[in-house]
Chain A
Amino acid sequence: MTSRRVAATGTASRRVAVTGMGILCALGETFPDVLAGMREGRTGIGPVRRFPTTRLHSGIGAELRMEAAKAYFTREQREKYDLCARYAIVAADQALRDSGLKEHSAKGLVMGAALGTCNGGILSLEEQWTVTELDERRTARYPFYQQGDDVANHLGLNGPVTTIHTACAASGNAIGFAYDMIRWGYADAMLAGGSDPLSHAVYAGFNVLRALSPVPASPFASRLGLSLGEGAAFVMMEPLDRALRRGATIYAEICGYGLSNDAYHETAPDPEGRGIQTAVRMALRQSGTRASQIDYVNAHGTGTQANDQAEIKGLRSVFGDRLQNIPLSSSKAYFGHTLGAAAAIEWTTSLYAIRHGLLPATLHYDEPRAGCEGLRIIANRMTEGRPAYFLNNNSAFGGHNASIVARTGPTEPDGDPHPETIGTGRERRIGIVGIGAVLGGEVRQGSVSGEDVSVPLPMEEKPGACAFSLKSFDPGLYERRMNRLSQFSIGAVKSALADAGWEERSGMAEGRDIGFIYGTARGSTDSIGKFLHSVFENGPELASSIYFPHTVVNSVAGKTAEKLALGGFSSSLSSGGAEGIIAAAYACGSIRSGVHDRFVIAAGEERSGLTERIDRAKRLTDSAHPPLEGSVGLALADIDDALRAGRPVLAELSGFGMAYGGEPGSPRAIDALTRAVEDAIAQAGAAPERIDAVLLDSPGRPGESAALFKAIRERFAGRDMPLISVNEQYGYGESLSSMLLLGIAAERVKPGAMKRVLAVSVSVNGNTAAAVVSEAAPTSLKEEIV
């Protein structure tokens, strides 16, 4: 059945279709119900019933009726999953059934998932109303990566799985990530979407920023403020040719997407809308669509003054005067602002409406506010429309933006409707051209291991602890109350940029040409803990405004982008221990697809009181390895470009494989390990006997490493080769050790040493990723070797 093939070049311009959709939102839990509500001009925003709002500025929100989510799960499952995962599972399962691929999943189809969420499992902490006396059962449901992993576990998925946490742009990014996984041959099908339940603490946070409207939100109109909502939506995506062959319903073809970072401020958008402009232009360019072909824009339009003005400015800079003729609306007056689910809910409901010849409206619209005049807002009632191409926009705290171009017109089975699609050039080899690390107390540039490889840390310190201070390292980049994780990450990324020789050029104009992908399993748990403590201890009406912006995990990537002027393609993700390799695969594919020529990838973790409780819940306290904090950054670029420019290349990233395994040590997990390794080796075009060593990164709970080593040894038929656990020497910190692993591998393949190293990360929940890291050589020479 499988037609999948990991593209050796990564430039396969496979077309991708949406063939299934699922939804849970305040207007309903099936698309016909939701569309019926939209046709009537009904809003899902009403009085909040979930928690008291008496002392807050607003008492309204768009809550689910929760019928589908309640009936779907057994009691045991309700105990096991956070509400975020439960919403996601219901919507993802709907999309899976709708696609007709459910029967196929047993037939060797490789299917993964990308879940976008703003607040992850925050309700599992809220239920306990404490950050110091947390239990293990509910705390285990909290981490961000757990939400995506629960979807994969529940639906038995086996492909690439990741949780994208770029706040209110998260599910837009998730849809883009899934699109890439299919285009690049890492999956046969992907479920992509977003989920966020209404959170009391998050409501309190928006309240203290006085962003909530006391009446239902009216984006672009005279009344300012937003209304929060909740829900989930998912799509099934697969190659268009297969969808056509099997006669699947095709809701849309995803033509391309763009991501960016404002690199401006943690909460306020760039008032000039430059980040939005970058994302929209990227989406148009990648999809080979001209601005003049876009016939509908579903805007982020939260209803706040800052967002709506900046967004319109950004759109005007792309569309010019033509913007006044393009039907435009924000769906947030129907669904509320559903945060991480917003892009997916707004995108799927737009697709469904367009299928019925209708365009979503902006409810509660009276007259335009300043800066939003002269637009063709679809006000209060849906209008008829069948746009051939439509643009969907979302923006977030942390400065992340996501923009998607979808083709909703009739599908042409043959030929490429996007002749301008880029990435059709020669096979590009991508290498590591810079390394920066903040580990122990020091900053390392050009290597991760430091001077003396055998002594990673001074003896007097807590093993794995990081004493780095950005204030001492570069006071100009520091700002007050900056959490340690942001400090580590800025230090590491700055050093990686400097090592690559890019630093002097990363002013804003140049910085828009460097992509940035960041991984963290937990984010700044110190800042998150402080915010939640303020809510739990002082009361929601006295929530801390200064810590609220840091409850979104992408705030670390956002602050790093802001301080280092990285305004290009920008993503931030969690996988609980495979982030390094996933980020590398994402960046390498993006370079080959022509997004940017240069990427910097980084990962980091920070220790805090809250992390110790998460460790206990995840049994990491039983690990053989000490917990590790800090950050590692790698600069990636085309090897031939770098060599031509006279820059040294440390190693080539020549192949990747990603597979979800679940329960560590289970047969499924061993199968995932085998597939990830085989895919990585196949993409690298190297025979297994040409692998000189295997480096393993895993949580190190009792029996875990031994089982993985045994499976790897079997895979290599007992060949005598070094099998090394990097965690024995460095410790364990989910995303951090996964990125560190790639840095260590790069150091091993220096000329005169090993030629090819296989790096394997297995996450806390059995998400597995493998990479082949090879000695770097120019393409001409390389072809002779292989």
Chain B
Amino acid sequence: MNGHLISFEDMKQTVKEKLIVERLELEDVTAADIGDEMPLFGEGLGLDSVEAFEVMVGLEAVFGVMVEGIPAERLREHLTNVTSIARFVEASLREQADRLAETGHP
């Protein structure tokens, strides 16, 4: 998936559908139930710490964002809500694309 070709709205929708509902196998929750600014962890959607790690893995599996080098605590700051995740994905993909353009290596 190329982050540059999809709109921010589409990105948020993909976060909801692929990264949250499908990846976490949420049974009674659909993408429509998740607000852009709804807190994901603890309150709001009520995800827990084990699920946070699944979302981190999902960033790579769904969007191709490499998160291995980023400490969990820093990463977690980006996982507040759908908007913050989408912003993080967008920035990360842009950064990766720039690096690729500079060096020829991802």
Contact = CB atoms under 8 A, between A and B. Distances in A.
- Chain A, interface SS category: loop
Interface in B1-60: 24-28, 49-51, 53-54, 57, 60
Nearest to B27: A480
Contacts of A57: 68
A56 B69 CA distance: 10
Interface stretch (A43-51, A86-94, A544-552, A636-644): A544-552
A210 B8 CA distance: 30
Contacts of B68: 55-57, 541
A538 B25 contact: no
A208 B53 CA distance: 7
A268 B53 contact: no
Given A55-B68, A210-B72, A546 B54 contact: yes
B61 A209 contact: no
A208 B57 contact: yes
B55 to A, nearest CB: 9
Given A57-B68, A208-B53, A546 B61 contact: no
A267 B50 CA distance: 8
Contacts of B61: 538, 542
Nearest to B69: A57
Interface string A469-480: 000000000001
B26 to A, nearest CB: 6
A206 to B, nearest CB: 11
Interface in A85-108: none
Nearest to B25: A481
A546 to B, nearest CB: 5
- Chain B, interface SS category: helix
A134 interface: no
Nearest to A481: B25
Residue from B25, B28, B57, B72 having most chain A Cβ neighbours under 10 A? B57
Residue from B27, B49, B53 having most chain A Cβ neighbours under 10 A? B53
A538 B54 CA distance: 13
Contact of B50 (A55, A538, A545): A545
Interface string A49-75: 000000111000000000000000000
Given A538-B61, A542-B61, A549 B50 contact: yes
Interface in A442-497: 480-481
A209 B50 CA distance: 7
A543 interface: yes
A538 B49 CA distance: 21
B49 A268 contact: yes
A54 to B, nearest CB: 10
B57 A544 contact: yes
B50 A543 contact: no
Interface in A539-569: 541-546, 548-549
Contacts of A209: 50, 53
A8 B24 CA distance: 53
A210 B56 CA distance: 10
Contact of A544 (B27, B28, B54): B54
Given A55-B68, A267-B50, A268-B49, A543 B25 contact: no
Nearest to B46: A480
Nearest to B72: A210
Nearest to A265: B48
Interface string A187-227: 00000000000000000000011100000000000000000
B54 A545 contact: yes
Contact of B57 (A267, A480, A481, A545): A545
A548 B54 CA distance: 10
Interface string A114-148: 00000000000000000000000000000000000
B57 A542 contact: yes
A546 B49 contact: no
A548 B26 CA distance: 17
Contacts of B27: 480-481
Interface string A763-786: 000000000000000000000000
B32 to A, nearest CB: 18
A546 B22 CA distance: 12
Nearest to A482: B27
A435 B66 CA distance: 52
A545 B55 CA distance: 9
A90 B69 CA distance: 40
Contacts of A267: 50
Residue from B51, B54, B61, B68 having most chain A Cβ neighbours under 10 A? B54
Contacts of B72: 210
Residue from B26, B50, B68, B72 having most chain A Cβ neighbours under 10 A? B50
Interface in A9-58: 55-57
Contacts of A208: 53-54, 57
Closest 9 CB pairs of A and B: A545-B53, A545-B54, A210-B72, A546-B54, A481-B25, A542-B57, A542-B61, A480-B27, A545-B50
Interface of A: 55-57, 208-210, 266-268, 480-481, 538, 541-546, 548-549
Interface of B: 24-28, 49-51, 53-54, 57, 60-61, 68, 72
24 contacts: A55-B68, A208-B53, A208-B57, A210-B53, A210-B72, A266-B50, A268-B49, A480-B24, A480-B28, A481-B24, A481-B25, A481-B27, A541-B68, A542-B57, A542-B61, A545-B50, A545-B53, A545-B54, A545-B57, A546-B24, A546-B25, A546-B50, A546-B54, A548-B50
Given A210-B72, A544-B57, 18 more contacts: A208-B54, A209-B50, A209-B53, A267-B50, A268-B49, A480-B24, A480-B28, A481-B25, A538-B61, A541-B60, A542-B60, A542-B61, A545-B50, A545-B54, A545-B57, A546-B51, A546-B54, A548-B50
